[in-house]
Structure 1
Amino acid sequence: MFLAWKEIVRNKLKFSLVVMVLVMISYLVFLLSGLAGGLMNMNRESIDLWESDAIVLNDDANNTIAQSFISEDELPDIDENNTSIIQTSLIVSNEDNEESAFLFGVEDDTSFIIPSLESGDMFENTGEVIADASLKEEGFEIGDELSLASSDETLEITGFTESAKYNAAPTMYSSMDTVREINPMYGDDTVSAMVIQGDTGDVELDDSLVMMPTEDFINELPGYQAQNLTLNFMIIFLFVISALVIGIFLYVITLQKRQLFGVLKAQGFTNGMLAASVFAQTLILSIIGTTIGLGLTLVTGLFLPDVVPVTFDYVTLSLYAVVLILVALLGGLLSVSSIRKVDPLEAIG
């Protein structure tokens, strides 16, 4: 380890290039990780706040709440904590700002799917809604009268909840009567779904209904899996590229030191000792490059605007950092194999 570090210090420029490559790759990996986390959170934020175990939908709804229409007579009679909901999509405007949003109608203002109220008051009358914090960030305020693109009805914001996006759009919550006035497709005894907290093993369903575990429902959200798979594949490819680039760099450096390795072998150094030196060198370089890349990522996160959906999970970042270091060591195997082929007499000339 000492000899490996001494050589790095002695040849700063050459090894700085290797570190710079590692910094750029790790920086991109960490940023993509944050972007993937942010986009995932935008899709499932409100559902995670429900802390539910299952969702009951119409069997013909293609696993989406918006297309599910259920008569209240068909809903299962269960003892677990549950609530019926209605969902409709809206384009709301307060004259200065316009935004797409999802409106959830609930049975009452104590429903467990309603996020924590951060400011203002809970809705009480038909036409009153509470909105999640992301609408507040877009310029909407308590008391705003919202006009709707798809209805002559208007809504009034009475309060704001914690951030609770659904399928990457802001959410609002109100009574079922409010949603039924806006969307006539919902009759007096029609709901979209039932959200259940608790054991669902003994729940008996009508033939027209299907019950999905909440995590399965999230995975069926439009674009959710495709988006996550795309970003994860990009991260995997970066790991592969990292191994190849570091392997090539170290291989070239090793070839430049063939004569030195020949002299060391002639003096009694074994292949194992030389390989350990190369691995130590790779470990030092990868730790330095990955650490700098991680630091740059965290600093970048402080200056990114709120519209950029980036969420850094420190456990994931730590895991990726370890993987990057291991991948760099894997790339160093190419150099180790070349050391074994060095003939002391031939290298010395």
Structure 2
Amino acid sequence: MFLAWNEIKRNKLKFSLIIGVLIMISYLLFLLSGLANGLINMNREGIDKWGANAIVISKDANQTVEQSLFNKDNVGDTYKNQTTLKQSGVIISNGKNEENALLFGVTDHSFLVPNMIEGKKFSSDNEVIADETLKDKGFKIGDKLSLSQSNEKLKIVGFSESAKYNASPVLFSNNSTLQKINGSITDSMTNAVVVKDNQWNDKALDDGLEAIDIEKFVENLPGYKAQNLTLNFMISFLFMISATVIGIFLYVMTLQKTSLFGVLKAQGFTNVYLAKVVLSQTFIIAMIGTMIGLLLTMVTGSFLPNAVPIKFSAITLIIYSVVLIVVSLIGSLFSILTIRKVDPLKAIG
């Protein structure tokens, strides 16, 4: 480690270039991980807050709640804890701001409604609770909302915790409010039944219905898999780029120092010792580059607007930091193999 650190100090420019590249790679990697986590959260945030085990929808609905419609009596009281979910897409406006949202019709004291942060729960028709993401977009308690597809007016009476569903903000109302807006949904009909029951898979259902595990349901949300696969591919590619860049830089530097390694071997330094020097150098520069990249990511994250769907996970950042350092060490193996082949006599000339 002593020899490795001293060489870094004596060749600041060369090693600074490698560290600079690593900083940019790690910075982009951490930002992408935050973006991936933020997009995942946008899709499933509200669903996670249900704490549900499964959801019952029509078999022919392609696992989409809004395309599902069935008589709630077909489910009856099959499960220990269940509640109907009636859903309709709406475009809302308070006169200043316009937003695409989802309107959920729910029963009183439904576990579908997250915790309140401001105002009160709806107590009559046309009153709604909005999730707090709408508050950040210029909506406030008391706003009268006009709808593009209905003459009904909705009034915001409270805000709940953020509860986005498939990247859309959510409004919660009673069932009769939703039925006024979406005439295809009546008292007896529902889009879905959300279930809290560990034994849900053991219960029999009507032939036209299916119960889906909540995780599987989330994975089949429109765009969910495509977003995750794309971002995960980019992250994996960055790891490979990191290993390649480190490998190339160190390999070139090793070739430049062939005669030096020959002299060291002639003086009795073993291949194992020289390999440890290279690994130590790689570890130091990878650690410095990763830590600076992580610091820049945290600073950037604190300045990003709420509109950017980014959410950092401490565990993910730690794992990615460790993997980045390990991948960098793997990249240095090319140099170690080159050192092993150095013939002291030929290198000295």
The verdict on a shared fold, with TM-score over 0.5 as the criterion, is: yes
Deviation at 1:198, TM superposition (A): 2.0
Partner of 1:21: 21
Q: Secondary structure at the match of 1:204?
A: coil
- Partner amino acid, structure 2, of 1:31: L
Deviation at 1:203, TM superposition (A): 1.4
C-alpha distance in 1 between matches for 2:143 and 2:265: 80
Q: Secondary structure at the match of 1:66?
A: helix
C-alpha distance in 2 between matches for 1:264 and 1:187: 85
- Partner amino acid, structure 1, of 2:223: G
C-alpha distance in 2 between matches for 1:298 and 1:283: 22
Instruction: Give CA-to-partner distance per residue, 1:280-330, whole Å, 9 cap, x none.
Output: 111111011101101110111000111111100010000000110011001
Partner of 1:301: 301
Deviation at 1:121, TM superposition (A): 1.1
Deviation at 1:76, TM superposition (A): 4.3
Task: Say whether 1:329 aligns with 2:323.
Answer: no
Contact 1:76 1:204 in 2 (8 A): no
Deviation at 1:201, TM superposition (A): 3.2
C-alpha distance in 1 between matches for 2:208 and 2:336: 64
C-alpha distance in 1 between matches for 2:79 and 2:181: 31
C-alpha distance in 2 between matches for 1:76 and 1:213: 19
C-alpha distance in 2 between matches for 1:218 and 1:33: 19
- Partner amino acid, structure 2, of 1:268: G
TM-score by structure 1 length?
0.98
Partner of 2:145: 146
Task: Say whether 1:136 aligns with 2:135.
Answer: yes
Q: How does 1:1-349 map to 2 (within 5 A)?
A: 1-108=1-108, 110-199=109-198, 200-349=200-349
C-alpha distance in 2 between matches for 1:210 and 1:78: 13
C-alpha distance in 1 between matches for 2:263 and 2:187: 90
Instruction: Give CA-to-partner distance per residue, 1:250-299, whole Å, 9 cap, x none.
Output: 00111111111000100111111111111111111101110110111011
Deviation at 1:78, TM superposition (A): 2.5
C-alpha distance in 1 between matches for 2:107 and 2:206: 21
% identical aligned pairs? 58
Deviation at 1:187, TM superposition (A): 2.0
C-alpha distance in 1 between matches for 2:175 and 2:29: 44
- Partner amino acid, structure 2, of 1:119: E
Contact 1:76 1:206 in 2 (8 A): no
Contact 2:92 2:98 in 1 (8 A): yes
Deviation at 1:73, TM superposition (A): 1.7
Task: Show structure 1 runs of 5+ residues with no match.
Answer: none
C-alpha distance in 2 between matches for 1:329 and 1:322: 11
- Partner amino acid, structure 1, of 2:207: D
**RMSD value over aligned CA atoms?**
0.8
Deviation at 1:204, TM superposition (A): 1.3
C-alpha distance in 2 between matches for 1:54 and 1:277: 55
- Partner amino acid, structure 2, of 1:215: E
- Partner amino acid, structure 2, of 1:313: S
C-alpha distance in 2 between matches for 1:333 and 1:141: 59
Deviation at 1:79, TM superposition (A): 4.4
C-alpha distance in 2 between matches for 1:172 and 1:201: 30
Deviation at 1:202, TM superposition (A): 2.5
Task: Show structure 2 runs of 5+ residues with no match.
Answer: none
Deviation at 1:107, TM superposition (A): 1.7
C-alpha distance in 2 between matches for 1:7 and 1:202: 66
C-alpha distance in 2 between matches for 1:194 and 1:111: 12
C-alpha distance in 2 between matches for 1:112 and 1:72: 18
Instruction: Give CA-to-partner distance per residue, 1:64-89, whole Å, 9 cap, x none.
Output: 11111010221142241111110000
Contact 1:143 1:156 in 2 (8 A): yes
- Partner amino acid, structure 1, of 2:34: G
C-alpha distance in 1 between matches for 2:58 and 2:274: 67
- Partner amino acid, structure 2, of 1:191: T
Instruction: Give CA-to-partner distance per residue, 1:30-75, whole Å, 9 cap, x none.
Output: 0000000001101111001101000000111110111110102211
Q: Secondary structure at the match of 2:269?
A: coil
- Partner amino acid, structure 1, of 2:323: V
C-alpha distance in 2 between matches for 1:2 and 1:90: 65
C-alpha distance in 1 between matches for 2:272 and 2:143: 73
